[in-house]
Amino acid sequence: MTKSLTRTHDPAARSFVESAGRPGGDFPIQNLPFGVFARRGRNEAERIGVAIGDQIVDLNRAAGQGLLAALEPEIQSALAARTLNPLLSMGRPAGRLVRERLFDLLCEDGPSRGQVVDCLVPMETAELMLPAVIGDYSDFYASIHHATNVGSMFRPENPLLPNYKYVPIGYHGRSSSIVVSGAPVKRPMGQIKGDQTTAPVFGPSRSLDYECEIGALISGGNPRGTEIPIGEAEQHIFGLSLLNDWSARDIQAWEYQPLGPFLAKNFATTVSPWVITMDALAPFRVPAYDRPADDPDPLPYLFSEADRRSGGVGITVEVYLRTSRMRADGIAATRLSQASFATMYWTLAQLVTHHASNGCNLRPGDLIGSGTISGPAKDNRGCLLELTWRGNEPLTLPTGEVRRFLLDGDEVSIRGYCEREGAVRIGFGECRGVIETA
Ligand code: MN
C-alpha cells in the first residue's frame, strides 16, 4: 500500500498558499482535486481548475504562462478544454503527471511562485460547474447495512435477497439530470398510491428523500465486448466526488416492480464539484469489507488479493439538514448521520469490473454511484427512509420542527473527508441542494 505513496503525499509538505495549511481544511497541497469553473460576472469560458486552500489554480492561465510546459503537448491541450473529458480519456497516468507538476508549483519553495500566484482565483468568486460531460450514470447498492435496513422494512422475514452477496446490485440512472452542488431541486410529481387505495393519484411526492453516496468518475474505459479485469479496475477510476441520489420514496414504492427505479430517482442527482483523485486517496486505502466466514467468497472475476487487502477507501461521510426556518433563525445545519465508506460490502473495483463483465463499455466521463452509504449503527444511516424507518420514527430538529421526509425549503448538505494518523486530512468539499416547491 505504501509503495503507491509519493512526494505528493508527504505530510510535511506545505504550500505557499496560506489557506491550504489551515487545520481541518478540505484542500491542502496533498489533495489537489480537479474541477471546472468560471469567474462570476466575467462572461468567460469555463476552464479546468485545481483547488488549493480557498483558491483555484486556473490551469488554462497556467498553461498560457508556460507553467505546464514540462507536460507533454497532448496533456497540455487536454487541460485547455472546458471539461475534464479529454484528460479523462487519457487515463489515470496523465492526471497523475498534472498532479505532480502542480504539487511542485504550489510547494512553499516551488519555482515560479509569482507566476503561479497570478493564476490563483479565489474560490468564492468562482462558479463551479459539473467537472465532466457525464455520458452514462449507473448507481449501485453496495452497502449491506443499507440493503438490510431497506429490506427489513419491506420484507422483515427475509431482508437480504439471495443474490446480494454474489451480485453487486445496480441500475442504470440518467445523466441528463445530474447537477452540481448548489443547484435547486424541484420536488417531483408522480404517481402515488396510498396503502388504503387501489388506484394511484398524480401529485407532488410526499416522501422526498436524499441518499448519501460516493460517485466515481471513469477514466480510460473499455471497448465494447471487452472486460475490465479486477486487477485493472482502479486504473479506470479518475477520482471520487460526493453524490446525492435524491429519491421519491412514494413514487418508488409504486413503480419499482418489476424493473426497478425509474422516475423516483431520475429527476435530479447532485454531485460535488471537486473530483478527489485516486492518487490523493492513496494514503487512506483500507481493506475491503471483512466478509464473515459463512458469507460466500466473491466469484473469481470479482476477487483479487490486492483488492481484498486495500480495495476500500476510508472516507467519512456526513449529512446535514437545514430547514428554511433554521436559516431564517440563524441556526446552524444539524448533522443527521455520519458513516464510513470503508463499511461498503463491494469495493469500487468490484463495481467497475462487474459493470463491464458482460462486455458493457464504460467511457471516460461515465459516473458510477456507490449506493447509499449506511453503517451498522442508527446514526450511520445515509437516508431518511432508514433514519425515520419509513416515517415511523420522525426526527425532531433543534427548532422543534419534525421531519419524516424532506419538506420544501430544506437544504441537504453532504460532506466527506479522510483522516488518518501520519497523513494530512483531505476533504471533498460540499454536495448541497435545496428543495423547491413542486
Ligand atoms: Mn442510490
2 pLDDT above the threshold of 80: no
189 pLDDT above the threshold of 60: yes
Per-residue confidence (pLDDT) for residue 3, from 0 to 100: 58
Ion ligand 1: residues, CB within 5 A, are 139, 211, 245
Residue 352's identity, in one-letter code, is V
Query: What is the distance between the alpha carbons of residues 312 and 326, in angstroms, rounded to a whole number?
Result: 36
CA-closest candidate to residue 27, choices 315, 425, 357, 304: 425
Q: How far is the CA of 203 from the centre of ligand 1 (A)?
A: 23
Q: How far is the CA of 269 from the centre of ligand 1 (A)?
A: 9
Instruction: Check whether the bond before 258 is cis (ω within 30° of 0).
Output: yes
Q: How far is the CA of 245 from the centre of ligand 1 (A)?
A: 5
Q: How far is the CA of 120 from the centre of ligand 1 (A)?
A: 36
Residue of 146, 236, 354, 355 with catalytic role: 146
Strands 276-277 and 201-204: unpaired
Cell of 129: 460547474
For the segment 208-233, the average pLDDT, to the nearest whole number, is 98
110 pLDDT above the threshold of 70: yes
pTM recorded for the entire structure: 0.97
- Alpha-carbon distance values, 10 to 115, 222, 257 (Å): 24, 33, 51
Give per-residue pLDDT as tens, 5-60.
Answer: 999 999 999 999 999 999 999 999 999 999 999 999 999 999 999 999 999 999 99
Give per-residue pLDDT as tens, 312-371.
Answer: 999 999 999 999 999 999 999 999 999 999 999 999 999 999 999 999 999 999 999 999
Q: Which residues contact 49 (CB under 8 A, 6 or more apart)?
A: 34, 35, 36, 37, 56, 57, 58, 59, 121, 126
Strands 178-180 and 269-271: parallel
Q: Let me know if 145 is a catalytic residue.
A: no
CA-closest candidate to residue 50, choices 219, 276, 281: 276
pLDDT band per the 50, 70, 90 thresholds, residue 4: confident
**Helix ranges (DSSP H) in 17-67:** 59-64
Q: What percent of the chain has pLDDT over 70?
A: 99
Q: How far is the CA of 323 from the centre of ligand 1 (A)?
A: 23
